[in-house]
Amino acid sequence: MQHITEQLLSLHERMEAAKKNSPIAQENVTIVAASKTQSTEHIIAAIDAGVTCFGENKVQEAAEKWPAIKAQYPKIELQLIGPLQTNKARQAVASFDTIATLDRLKLADILAQEMQQQEKRPACFIQVNTGEEPQKGGVLPQDADEFITYCRETAALPIVGLMCIPPANQPAAVHFAYLKKLADTHGLTRLSMGMSSDFEAAIRLGATEIRIGTALFGQRNIYLQ
């Protein structure tokens, strides 16, 4: 699995280049390795290559793969980067260090309740549906201010930042710039934005976490995703 080491090296070079000449690029940008469909063997190869943070899309898939990996590598951070159904909130609070896809009131309330019961408080990002796409998760931009305030003040959740997945057929930079501005308005310091195809633009616009799948692991098996 030499290719993971090489891909990581090349990613780091491209990340450094993207930081140059951008006054708002962050010095510390974390790669969240999007490990959906990847085997435990590939995940461990990525850990050995130096990756410290992973993102899974499905609560169930994470529950199958990650307990064994966490037992061996307890310091690795695991993020939920896919949509969360309320009936999986309990398991998500138990299994993840970070939940990156908080996007609606009912979910905020249930997460708050679960965190209290489990005495465990995974950091949360609020996902914003910047492109207002019906098939995508995320709070709509016009509801974002109110929802962010609700999550922080009423639900008292540990909100650390914002996350978005821009529409595939549009320049992503507009969406990243919007998310950055919204985060600044609310004094939120972390921004999860950018994937294999657009992480350089995301870094230039202030991303603190980029979610990288194919540029690290190679093409996914489309029959498994």
**Which residues lie closer than 8 Å to 108 by C-beta, 6 or more apart?**
102, 147, 150, 151, 155, 157
Residues 155-184 binding ligand PLP (CB under 6 A) are: 165
Determine the Cα–Cα distance for residues 155 and 161; give it in Å rounded to an integer: 15
Stretch 77-106: interaction string toward ligand PLP, x if CB under 6 A = ----xx------------------------
213 binds ligand PLP (CB under 6 A): yes
Burial class (CB in 10 A: 0-12, 13-18, 19+), 53: middle
211 binds ligand PLP (CB under 6 A): yes
Closest Cα partner for 155 from 110, 186, 125? 110
Closer by beta carbon to ligand PLP, 81 or else 126: 81
Report DSSP state, residue 195.
-
Question: Stretches 13-21, 108-116, 131-139, 192-200: which one binds ligand PLP (CB under 6 A)?
Answer: 192-200
Q: How far is the CB of 210 from ligand PLP (least distance, A)?
A: 9
Q: CB of 130 within 8 A of CB of 166?
A: yes
Question: Stretches 38-46, 68-76, 149-157, 207-215: which one binds ligand PLP (CB under 6 A)?
Answer: 207-215
Among 8, 36, 89, 188, binds ligand PLP (CB under 6 A): 36
Question: Stretches 86-94, 104-112, 136-144, 191-199: which one binds ligand PLP (CB under 6 A)?
Answer: 191-199
Q: How far is the CB of 163 from ligand PLP (least distance, A)?
A: 8
Q: CB of 96 within 8 A of CB of 61?
A: no
**Residue 86: helix, strand or coil by DSSP?**
helix
Determine the Cα–Cα distance for residues 78 and 81; give it in Å rounded to an integer: 9
Q: How far is the CB of 119 from ligand PLP (least distance, A)?
A: 28
What type of residue sits at position 155? A
Among 34, 112, 115, 148, binds ligand PLP (CB under 6 A): 34
- Contacts with ligand PLP by CB under 6 A lie at 34, 36, 57, 81-82, 165, 195-197, 211-215
